[in-house]
Amino acid sequence: MTSQLIVGKELRRLGKGVIDLARSRRLSQVGGGGVTRTYLVALGLFCVLPIGATAALYYSIPNETLTASPVRTLTVEPVRLPDLRGQMAAIEAVTDPISHEIFVREAETLTSLLARLQIKDTQARDFIIRNPITQALVYPKQGQFVTAVAGEDGKLEELRLYTDSDISGKGSLLEVRRTARGFQARTTPYEYDTELTMANGVVSGSPDTSLLNAGVPAKIVEQMHSAFDFDRDVVSQLQRGDAFRLIYETKFAEGSFVRHGRLLAMQLDHDGKTTELFRFDNDNAGGNFYDAEGNISRRTFMRVPLDVQSVTSEFSPMRRHPVTGVLRPHLGTDFRAPWGAVVRAAADGTVEFAGVGTGYGNYIRIAHGPGILTLYAHLSSIDPHVKKGTKVKYGEVIGRVGQTGLATGPHLHYELKFGNVQINPMTVRLPDTKKLTPYQFAQMEVLIAPLRAKLARLQQVQVSSLSGKNAVSQTN
């Protein structure tokens, strides 16, 4: 790709930005959660052009556009906006039909959704309620992106709901359309425009606050933490002066920002070394983070299936039962934890039992492959989605600590069994140094090569800006 091509691409984006800006101005008269974001995206796009030098800096990496990333060192120059008044007047002169773009709010209903989209159409509403395909509109989820086109009389012409899966990042589009023969609905797979956003910064206070202050979305910070085991979380160990570099997805639909997607790569400088992790999805289920040698970053079994950082545990094969007083084998580990503390699935698996037992109280048993079981007892509650047959992921919340069954105080009774043998999870070597096969590793190497190149560039920028030089003017 030549730099002219990049400039051409940026110009097209600028054009799109103009339209988005105009559109958001028009929309702002009717309000709606999406408007400010559209406006911000448009502004973000304007900011890209004056830093053409930055584009040139990254142009050796093909097929990617530098997005409006929170790379603070690159956006210090003032931006002069072109005079758009003529174009805006022309765009605003176009009136009907009226289109709206909004994001689903918390506790949104179909009724409130239609009202915010300025649709007054009982026939359309009835169609959506009765049609099995359109139920996602009857129960919209917070954050979903919705667009609508309606006549000036409020009659629905077209309604679109963009849904997506957080895990795989795959989306689908639900469309309701007025035709000559009444309304029609259909669902099709939807590919969001995905851009890679880069962020870097240096920790100055608490790690999370520093990340958020550098513009890293909360959802990405969450993913950074969950790339590690709770007891080995490098993110929470970051200290003042430690640097971070990240690449994550930003998703757009019809030119509007929809949400941030998956964290794809991160580098964390801490304690004199750099932790580098890449997401690799070899099972199409969201993937895991691996280091550059193909070692999985998170153990496949949580040692302690609780969020609690320090827990007192007791694993004794024989003891006097605290309630019945009878000496008998104690089959498990007791983790003392406050009532209501979150209990997580220790590894990926399938729920075998979720219900009440006499001694165990509320308990859950999960199978993790041939002969491997975990059991969680005395729970105050079991998460409603956890039922026999439910597939659970490592770290997924399954219930809460309690005192049901034979228990003297709130604690988690935890059992781990390999081929019917009780294991002490705190001391045993668990089969969790999962390494990719040579074939998978080769696949991963191809996929992460462009991400590594980007991180290396980002590091150069970071190093030169930290040493007080202007990163942009130094290059090329």
Residues that bind Zn ion (CB under 5 A): 332, 334, 413
Tell me the C-alpha to C-alpha distance, in Å, between residue 242 and each of 129, 138, 141, 235: 53, 47, 37, 10
Residue (of 368, 390, 391, 380) closest to 413 by Cα position? 380
Task: Provide the minimum distance between the beta carbon of 302 and Zn ion in the complex, in angstroms, as a whole number.
Answer: 18
Taking the least distance from each CB to Zn ion, the nearer of 288 and 333 is: 333
Helix axes 33-48, 3-27, angle to 10 degrees: 150
Taking the least distance from each CB to Zn ion, the nearer of 400 and 413 is: 413
Taking the least distance from each CB to Zn ion, the nearer of 12 and 328 is: 328
C-alpha–C-alpha distance, residues 66 and 84, integer Å: 24
The answer to whether 158 and 149 have CB atoms below 8 angstroms apart is yes
Task: Provide the minimum distance between the beta carbon of 343 and Zn ion in the complex, in angstroms, as a whole number.
Answer: 14
Q: At 449, give phi and psi (nearest 5°).
A: -55, -50
C-alpha–C-alpha distance, residues 273 and 242, integer Å: 10
Q: At 459, give phi and psi (nearest 5°).
A: -65, -40
Residue 10: alpha-carbon gap to chain centroid: 27
Task: Provide the minimum distance between the beta carbon of 144 and Zn ion in the complex, in angstroms, as a whole number.
Answer: 43
Residue (of 243, 352, 244, 233) closest to 298 by Cα position? 233
Helix axes 3-27, 85-92, angle to 10 degrees: 50
Task: Provide the minimum distance between the beta carbon of 374 and Zn ion in the complex, in angstroms, as a whole number.
Answer: 13
Task: Provide the minimum distance between the beta carbon of 406 and Zn ion in the complex, in angstroms, as a whole number.
Answer: 9
Give the alpha-carbon dihedral of 53, 241, 270, 262, to 10 degrees.
-50
Taking the least distance from each CB to Zn ion, the nearer of 332 and 399 is: 332
Taking the least distance from each CB to Zn ion, the nearer of 395 and 405 is: 405
Task: Provide the minimum distance between the beta carbon of 365 and Zn ion in the complex, in angstroms, as a whole number.
Answer: 14
C-alpha–C-alpha distance, residues 126 and 114, integer Å: 12
H helices within 207-338, ranges in order?
207-213, 218-226, 234-237
Task: Provide the minimum distance between the beta carbon of 467 and Zn ion in the complex, in angstroms, as a whole number.
Answer: 56
Taking the least distance from each CB to Zn ion, the nearer of 10 and 334 is: 334
Taking the least distance from each CB to Zn ion, the nearer of 99 and 403 is: 403
Taking the least distance from each CB to Zn ion, the nearer of 82 and 317 is: 317
Tell me the C-alpha to C-alpha distance, in Å, between residue 245 and each of 195, 224, 354, 450: 16, 11, 42, 14
Residue nearest to Zn ion (CB): 413
Residue type, 410: P
Task: Provide the minimum distance between the beta carbon of 337 and Zn ion in the complex, in angstroms, as a whole number.
Answer: 12
Task: Provide the minimum distance between the beta carbon of 326 and Zn ion in the complex, in angstroms, as a whole number.
Answer: 14
Taking the least distance from each CB to Zn ion, the nearer of 217 and 332 is: 332
CB atoms within 10 A of CB 371: 11
